Chain A
């Protein structure tokens, strides 16, 4: 990474207090993202990737959520110390957000144009006429057909792919420096997904925004991310440039994950599986969260948590046994 990153998450901890019990959803996550790069936190349900991105937007509901530690540095300021008023200024302004289901994130009683115009008048103090013109411009930028008519449509009048385009237009309205996209294409069909990913790549190239792309789809990760952070049990277990992650995965969990993905070339006779399942968040262990499913786990793994350690430039892994081929020899 070059100079100071735009976003740097340092040892972030988020707990949820449920029924008087404290459960850790994010257990000391550190990430850094520079301008013009795309970072993808990946992992399976419950790994903490969505809570992490929600936490960066300061949208974790409190209660039951609790920010239990760490810092979220965005352009030199710790987001965790800002007031709600200051956060509101950032959200939709310098930080754009795209969610999985645009139907629930767009307001059904305002037209697409009104929602974009409102954001423009709040964040950029644009007058109504200029805001409407800019809204049409944005809708055409995201490839919505006949934008000057669509601008007066309500969200329910659009298809899923079109709604997602409106969401993106809304996220981009105020030229954000950081775009947070949480499973932006998961609800879409594959041909529409390809259209949206193409659009996002295109916009990133044009605006130079940094993108945090949360997804569970390793195919999408391979095609859109520059860097990947593999999460398991609320922690980052491996961090690498995308090429290295897919060809040279180091953590036993990443290795299993890579081999479990079915491929389009039909080369696998049988899919690899990772025996067992993710331990529930209320089970606390002093050691590695993956130890219960790892065939290489030792007593050391079960008693002491490994920290991320760099194996190659930009490629770090949290595993006592890495590189594992040395173990076997």
Chain B
């Protein structure tokens, strides 16, 4: 992760959408969806981008692939400036960067069988020849936990989890260096979510893919990420290694997200609503610190002076009072009960002996 050249380097990424009104479609304002976002990502590393709806995390993800054209900033994939690429160069670069969406049904063509869906990128990007393409498709399906006979099926014939596996297979077809995962498990049931999370982790271990993992579920992020960037109103407010951010968040917004996340442990107490009110509009972000209208710790300085991202104990944080931030209020979850672990063992052993025989 450190030392080697990063797979992805993002500097000052900004996307402002113009707001037009009237007959002349005059620009009357701009939605500041993403402002001055910078990060770097190494091979086999997962950076999670978290935040609430409208914080700009999805716009960031899509801008990386230029599915949305950024307003300014630089994006380097293996040192190559993605924004400077010609359309042909961009097509070439998309071989190395792919995206998985929340709703695979919306992103798969309903009239194409799985084989057709996968054949296109494999041939287009030269990952297979017409001779061995069927074999490659079968390999890909098996890698993603499906079977070769699924190749002739259509998207509507699959369950939600299987469909997401097809989405992963399509992204994986060109052996990308980077996959942007935009809420890939948010629409899935918990047991299926676990299957897809495990699949993504296995693929990363096998192929060294870097993930930008966009999510709002902190527990999933805790499980899958190496590093977490928290976005609020289009800006990164904290960026830290996963253990550090969960054990001691330094930005009050990060802290309130962690306090508010429900724990699957009835003894861990109730989620705390430590912030009040809603996200302000990205059309008119507040002056000073973006978070000050909802911040329980805000002081006069916060209302006028915007805190820059700065280094603190191996992380970046944008808060005037990061040093004084107390650790989270809530008790950690208790470890899994012995009775549950023992029964899990029974099930696991039964499953193993069934597959052995």
Spell out A's residues near B (CB within 8 Å).
44-45, 145, 159-162, 189-195, 197-198, 201, 216-224, 242-243, 246-250, 252, 255-268, 270-275, 277-278, 295-296, 324-325, 327-328
Contacts and interface: CB of A to CB of B under 8 A. Distances in A.
B298 interface: no
Interface residues of B, number: 66
A189 B294 CA distance: 15
Contacts of B272: 194, 198
Contact of B191 (A246, A249, A260): A260
Given A248-B340, A256-B347, A277-B161, A191 B190 contact: no
A251 B73 CA distance: 53
Given A247-B339, A249-B343, A264 B222 contact: yes
Nearest to A162: B278
5 contacts: A162-B278, A248-B339, A259-B344, A260-B193, A324-B347
Interface string B267-302: 111111111111100000000000000000000000
Contacts of A252: 347
A328 B346 contact: yes
Given A44-B190, A264-B333, A325-B342, A191 B265 contact: no
A246 B52 contact: no
Contacts of A248: 337, 339-340
B242 A247 contact: no
A256 B191 contact: yes
Nearest to B349: A328
A295 B276 CA distance: 47
Contacts of A264: 218-219, 222, 246, 258, 261, 263, 332-333
Given A249-B340, A259-B340, A264-B263, A190 B198 contact: no
B223 interface: yes
Contact of A223 (B266, B335, B343): B266
B256 interface: yes
A272 B347 CA distance: 11
Interface string B186-222: 0001111111011001000000000000001111101
Chain A contact surface mostly: helix
Nearest to B269: A223
A222 B270 CA distance: 9
Contacts of A259: 336, 340, 344
A267 B335 contact: yes
B86 to A, nearest CB: 40
Given A190-B52, A261-B190, A324 B346 contact: yes
B28 interface: no
Contacts of B192: 44, 277
B286 to A, nearest CB: 16
A321 B340 CA distance: 15
A169 B65 CA distance: 44
For B52, B198, B260, which residue has the most chain A Cβ atoms within 10 angstroms? B260
B309 to A, nearest CB: 22
B257 interface: yes
A121 B97 CA distance: 59
B350 interface: yes
Nearest to B219: A262
Contacts of B351: 275, 295
A295 B343 CA distance: 12
A198 B194 CA distance: 28
Given A248-B340, A256-B191, A273-B195, 14 more contacts: A44-B192, A159-B278, A189-B52, A193-B260, A194-B262, A197-B262, A197-B270, A248-B337, A259-B336, A260-B191, A261-B219, A263-B265, A277-B162, A327-B346
Contacts of B262: 193-194, 197, 217, 219-220, 222-223
Contacts of A216: 189-190
A295 B351 CA distance: 5
By secondary structure, the B interface counts as helix
Contact of B332 (A191, A197, A219, A265): A265
A189 B223 contact: no
B190 A260 contact: yes
A250 B257 CA distance: 32
A69 B219 CA distance: 40
A264 B228 CA distance: 14
B107 interface: no
B268 A255 contact: no
A319 to B, nearest CB: 11
B67 interface: no
A44 B189 CA distance: 6
A141 to B, nearest CB: 16
A44 B191 CA distance: 8
Nearest to B345: A328
Contacts of A328: 346, 349-350
B278 A296 contact: no
5 closest cross-chain pairs (CB), A and B: A219-B262, A44-B189, A194-B260, A295-B350, A189-B52
B129 interface: no
Given A191-B260, A222-B263, A248-B339, A198 B270 contact: yes
Contacts of A193: 260, 262, 271
A169 B198 CA distance: 42
Contacts of B246: 264, 266
B53 A260 contact: no
